[in-house]
Amino acid sequence: MKYLIIAQLNPTVGDIPGNLSLIRQTLHKVRSQYPNAVVIFPEMMISGYCPQDLLLRPDFIQQCQQGVLDLCPDTKNLCVILGSPYLINDDEGNFSITNAAIVYQDEKILTTYAKQQLPNYSIFDEKRYFTTQKNPAIIRYQNKSIGLLVCEDGWKKESYQYFKNENMDLIISINASPFEQHKPEQRIEIGQDIYQTTQTPLVYANLFGGQDELVFDGNSFIINAPQDISYLPQFQSGAFVLEADWQAENSEHSLTTTLVKKITIEHSNATEFLPLIYHREGPLENLTQVYSALQLGLRDYVKKNKFQKVILGLSGGLDSALTCAIAVDALGADKVIAVMLSSPYTSALSIDLFNQQADLLNIEHHHIKLSDTIDSVENKLLPIWKNLPDNQAISRQNIHARLRGLILMALSNEYNALLLATGNKSELAVGYATMYGDMAGGFSPIKDVYKTLVYQLSDYRNAISPAIPQQVITRPPTAELAPDQKDTDTLPEYPVLDAIIEAFVEKKYSTEQIINQGYDAATVRRITKLILKNQHKRQQASIGTKITTVAFGRDFRYPNTQQWQ
């Protein structure tokens, strides 16, 4: 077994013909140059991950099942391992669905292995869809014994400790592991534990691409020995050819792998993209990883849903400025439209910074003045307002924000452009956003990015090339919906706010635990109360790329109506 080929590809959920085409292209290119190679595709390659309730449709499962069978002729002279939903039946003839690794050898299905550990936390609901079989999978190919794992199996020792007494040559784990900050390091730790437990080299093959709020970063790797790790590129797709040397002189090694070639696989029109900023070998720095994830999440959402362009409100503030830079990097300047929607409280500086950034990025941009429209709406309301308590300050601010949303949605229709919401995680956490106003949009690229990280990413992006005017970064943050308004009028400084949100939302700390870390008690109680109170807003917010352990959405399923404090 001289060659291992890891096909780190970008399937589209539900596009079974398109996904089969990616597989076939890969096998066709491989067969002539590397006969008898082992070709490894990620988890759920045929269906894409995760199909969610498509998996409850018999017709969807049947298409996946037929796809598994139809691939047999394409596996001639190869050993192929790939993931798919797969039907099994028990002794009584009852069918159930597994998340399976399918193993082909020379035009035949050699065996199937059902994922044993079904994750049921965070964004995962696999117990809703799949069953499993307790069947450790060991295959023989060219005098080598190979053990199989599927993703979560590698996170539970009971799934792989079976192999430690089996004199294995290789363990192959196929994965659809979504990106989060520090997740790549966790995968390596898991891989090293598999090696230490089994004393067997490990191939970890991971999915690439964006799927709704999830981003799969690729970043596959091979652990040849405890401190000998071969990394495949992060945030790149392709079929990566590794030459395997099973006779290494170093006694600590039973395997040495060398990356010899990357084979480019042509995607369908739905997944044809501009390159990302960085193409580096090995682990990337944290800010590079996060920025690349945000690019990829937006890029795939736009392209896979067949939008032609994106549009956003560019206000002269930092959140929209970073969102705009990400959009241009992900899609190209010709695919981005920016609109300034000025109100009576919009400063001349904001308008100037809007024009500066639009010129800097060379994007189509428009300035629409809303003063007359705002006056018209308020005049319609004055006969009712005069008989009500004096709450008009907030009402007026929300009118400004909602008129912006109304106009941006109208332009979205006209341009057939996806409207991007530009809010960050800190604002969404405490409800510092207007429903049907600045929350309007079909996708929210920085929804899971804390404000403190927004600053870091903006500086990071400008270090590559100028993309955001420096004064946008240094000016005090403001919504400009009232005279001399500043975010700090109603919120603590962002480093404090973000630390409290992270402790409460991601670490699940109680208010008393957070206060004991040295934060002001009244501030902590006010912020945690706001987080719980504003769940109804977040449930109506657009999806956005997940980069943290607990993103608002499927990670944070709190009830709207509840009284717990």
User: Could you tell me the CA-to-CA distances from 114 to 110, 144, 170, 190, 297 in Å, in that order?
Assistant: 14, 21, 19, 20, 29
The lowest-confidence range among 28-37, 98-107, 246-255, 295-304 is 246-255
Give the pLDDT score at 489.
Answer: 74
Query: Is 70 exceeded by the pLDDT of residue 317?
Result: yes
Active-site residue, selected from the candidate residues 43, 126, 213, 480: 43
To the query of whether residue 43 is one of the catalytic residues in this protein, the response is: yes
Give the range with max mean pLDDT: 269-278, 317-326, 367-376, 481-490: 317-326
Give the pLDDT score at 319.
Answer: 96
Active-site residue, selected from the candidate residues 79, 151, 425, 447: 151
Tens digit of pLDDT for each residue in 416-459? 999 999 999 999 999 999 999 899 999 999 999 999 999 999 99
Tens digit of pLDDT for each residue in 94-126? 789 999 999 999 999 999 999 999 999 888 999
To the query of whether residue 502 is one of the catalytic residues in this protein, the response is: no
Active-site residue, selected from the candidate residues 64, 79, 115, 537: 115
Give the pLDDT score at 277.
Answer: 52
User: Could you tell me the CA-to-CA distances from 273 to 123, 211, 298, 348, 537 in Å, in that order?
Assistant: 26, 15, 11, 37, 33
The lowest-confidence range among 158-167, 177-186, 292-301, 512-521 is 158-167
Query: Is 80 exceeded by the pLDDT of residue 273?
Result: no
pTM, two decimals, is: 0.93
Query: Is 60 exceeded by the pLDDT of residue 275?
Result: no
Beta bridge partners of 85: 99
Give the pLDDT score at 283.
Answer: 62
CA 110 to chain centre: 33
Cβ atoms within 10 A of the Cβ of 283, count?
Answer: 16
Give the pLDDT score at 116.
Answer: 93
Mean predicted confidence (pLDDT) in 520-544: 95
**At which residue do the structure tokens 């959920």 appear?**
13
Mean predicted confidence (pLDDT) in 183-192: 94
To the query of whether residue 76 is one of the catalytic residues in this protein, the response is: no
Give the pLDDT score at 479.
Answer: 72
